Amino acid sequence: MTIHLITAENQNLYADLMTEHFRVRHDIYVRERGWKALTRSDGLERDQFDDADTVYVLAEDQGRIVGGSRLRPSLKPHLLGEVFPHLAEGLGVPRGPDIYEWTRLFILKDRREGWKHGALPGQIVCGGLEYLLDEGVTAFSLILEMWWIPRFHEMGWKITPLGIPDLIENEWWVAAKVAVNAQILESTRHFCDLPGRPILTRRGLPEPFARRSA
């Protein structure tokens, strides 16, 4: 299993995996979950936020994409700010140079083995937290189904709802803001039974911002 960090700087090294990742997203969100609004004739689920400003954390196992997620600077147009701002009518859409949005967390159906014992979801989430910490990010926003909140509390996350929930695609969703710090990464690693060392593969990328600035 390899957890790849993919940005505009190294995406040319991952052309085939990126295409496969969009195909898997289409299979999961359109065919499995029934989100018909995301249907595309080419079978690749991507939207206006899949551009050069977006960062991807993708899990590859023997050449196969088995999971992933995407991260996007909040000062750029993003899903919460442009499509679902009503979910943040309470506290407003979080924006700032040190705030990102985290969306499109997905796992292949045959790899959803829970979060313990170093399972795939924990690896992807810890990889994302590593990137955010390395880049000096202090918080991220996300839109999540309500049933996720107890799980994230178990992981030690401090979650601040941004507004009232709304029924979307037959599920109750809420927008929230999550603080990012070293303690959150450590508590997530502990919950997921992952070792306390970096998990991201940064092929073709420079040293992280935090390390360059040390």
Please report which confidence band the pLDDT of residue 213 belongs to, taking 50, 70 and 90 as the band edges: very low
pLDDT of amino acid 144: 95
d(CA 83, CA 77): 10
pLDDT tens digit sequence for 177-186:
999 999 999 9
Which of these, 211, 213, 200, 156, lies nearest to 180 by C-alpha position?
156
The domain spans of the chain are: 2-205
Q: Quick check: helix, strand or coil at residue 9?
A: coil
The model's pLDDT over 184-212, given as tens digits with 9 standing for 90+, comes to 999 999 999 999 889 999 999 987 765 54
- State which CATH number among 3.40.630.30, 3.40.50.300, 3.40.630.10, 3.30.565.10 fits the domain covering 2-205: 3.40.630.30
Q: Quick one: which H or E segment has residue 183?
A: helix 182-192
Q: How confident is the model over 155-173, as a mean pLDDT?
A: 94
- pTM of the predicted protein model: 0.94
pLDDT at residue 211 in the model: 53
For 213, residues 6+ apart whose C-beta sits below 8 A from its C-beta are 136
